[in-house]
Chains A and B, each alone.
Chain A
Amino acid sequence: MLAKLFSVTKRYGKTDGVHDLSLELHPGQAVGLLGLNGSGKTTTLKLLAGMLFPTQGSVEVLGQPPRANRGQIAFLSDADNLYAWMTPTDAERFMVGLYPDFNLHRYRELLAFLEVPKQGYRSMSRGQRARLRLAMVLARDARLFLLDEPLSGIDVISRDRILKSLVLEWRDEACLVLSTHEVSEAEGIFERVLLLKEGRLALDARAEDLRARGQSVKDAFIEVLA
């Protein structure tokens, strides 16, 4: 097992971000973390990344608290959070200094495949920015990849490229958790889908099992939320 949430509740003031959430993540899995806005997707990812601490319950990555295993966790935030002046080359230096597992060769391949321009972050389109930030994260030799809404609000060509690079960068020893509320486009790459509803796990299923019952992931999503 790669990571585990055990009976985790995260409270913000009086409301629960997630409530009594338990799940296990395994190597080789591509997991879709689905739910509406405010359902607890980002909270779940940040708990796994060690960026939030549970109010109750425990989180483990490779048998330790996430903070003790930060080198194994690659987190892509949904915030547009790079320095405006940074070019992809600056970003490379930044990542090399920060993460010993940063794979330069893979980073350059990803920049080429994702067609990231060499200019500064400030002058990039939203899709180009998303592709640069994804390349920075995927170039790490981490075990747990947590991608928060990498597909939302960007153009269709960028989304297509991002999905393809996720498949091409697939590694058996790693687990990928991708949160999205745009289910249809990404559903083919998920082996497993977790559906959050109001901070609780409403569905945990294999995507092919749903389809064998004649249901797309999107159908299941709508059924659970309706």
Chain B
Amino acid sequence: MWNLDVEAGPIYTQIVRGVERMLANGKMKPGEKLPSARELAAELKVNPNTVIHAFSQLEMAQMTETKRGLGTFVREDVNVEGIRLRILQEAAFRFWSEVQSLGLGLEDAQQALKKASPNGQREEP
């Protein structure tokens, strides 16, 4: 679910992205309670301070809120659609830079996307 990778940048950023991803794909819902920093740290086998750092970033980005004595919750007014589109856009940038590095253009990219999608147009075998 979290897929932490110590080669892929700071762990706190990966935890933030993990929450965003779960919100975007519906595995986590607005209003839902997050595990405590300690629980999540034990599950991920990371330093509790790293999780606390990630949680403070989520709160600054107005995705979560801390209710005193109750824990950390996803905000009810969190912009799930916005997060979903942003993750999609980031994936598109990565895809597009791959297309460019191959010396290909938009049309090739579109064709490749259609082929990748099960509902897209496929050449008959």
Q: Of B6, B12, B45, which is within 8 A of A217 by CB?
A: B6
Binary flags per residue of B53-71, CB closer than 8 Å to A gives 1, else 0:
1000000000000000000
Contact with A212, one of B9, B43, B44, B48 (Cβ below 8 angstroms): B9
Contact with B along A162-200 (1 / 0, CB 8 A): 011001101000000000000010011111000000000
Which B residues lie within 8 Å of A187 (CB)? 6
B87 interfacial contact with A, CB 8 Å: no
Contact across chains for A188 and B38 when beta carbons are under 8 A apart: no
Q: Which residue of B lies closest to A216 (CB)?
A: B6
Chain B residues lying within 8 Å of A211, measured Cβ to Cβ, are 6, 8-11
A168 in contact with B42 given A28-B49, A30-B47, A208-B12 (CB within 8 Å): yes
- Residue in contact with B6 in the complex, picked from A28, A164, A218, CB distance below 8 Å: A218
User: Which residue of chain A lies nearest to B41 when distances are taken between CB atoms in the complex?
Assistant: A167
For the complex, count residues of A whose C-beta is within 8 A of B: 23
| Cβ proximity bits B25-39 to A, threshold 8 Å, 1 near / 0 not | 000000000000010
Q: Does B11 contact A208, Cβ atoms closer than 8 Å? A: yes
Q: Which of A30, A168, A190, A208 contacts B10 (CB 8 A)?
A: A208
A134 → B minimal CB distance (Å): 15
Bound Cα distance from A221 to B8, whole angstroms: 16
Inter-chain CA distance A208–B12, complex, in Å, is 8
Interface flag for B46 (CB, 8 Å): yes
Docked-complex contact B7 and A219, CB < 8 angstroms: yes
Task: Judge if A100 is at the interface, Cβ distance under 8 Å.
Answer: no
A167-B38, A168-B38, A170-B38 known; A188-B45 Cβ under 8 A:
yes
B9: nearest chain-A partner, CB-CB: A211
Residue of B nearest to A215 (CB): B7
Interface: B99 (CB within 8 A): no
Given the interface contacts A28-B49, A189-B47, A217-B6, does A167 sit within 8 Å of B11 by beta carbon? no
Judged by a CB distance under 8 angstroms, whether B4 is at the interface is: yes
Contact for A188 among B7, B9, B44, B53, CB less than 8 A: B44
A21-39: contact bitstring with B at CB < 8 Å (1 yes, 0 no)? 0000000101000000000
Give A135 to B10 CA distance when docked, in angstroms.
Answer: 31
Residue A160 interfacial (CB < 8 Å): yes
> For residue A164, which residues in chain B have a CB less than 8 angstroms away from its CB?
42-43, 45
Contact A160 B45 (CB under 8 A): yes
Q: Is the CB of A188 within 8 A of B47?
A: yes
Q: Which residues of A contact B11 (CB under 8 A)?
A: 188, 208, 211
Could you say which residues of chain B place their CB within 8 Å of the CB of A167?
Answer: 38, 41-42, 45-48
A212 close to B10 (CB less than 8 A): yes
* B45 and A184 within 8 A (CB): no
Cα(A191)–Cα(B47), bound, Å: 7
A97 in the interface, Cβ–Cβ < 8 Å?
no
Q: Which of B4, B12, B45 contacts A163 (CB 8 A)?
A: B45
9 pairs across A/B with beta carbons < 8 Å?
A164-B43, A167-B45, A170-B38, A188-B44, A188-B45, A189-B46, A211-B8, A212-B9, A219-B7
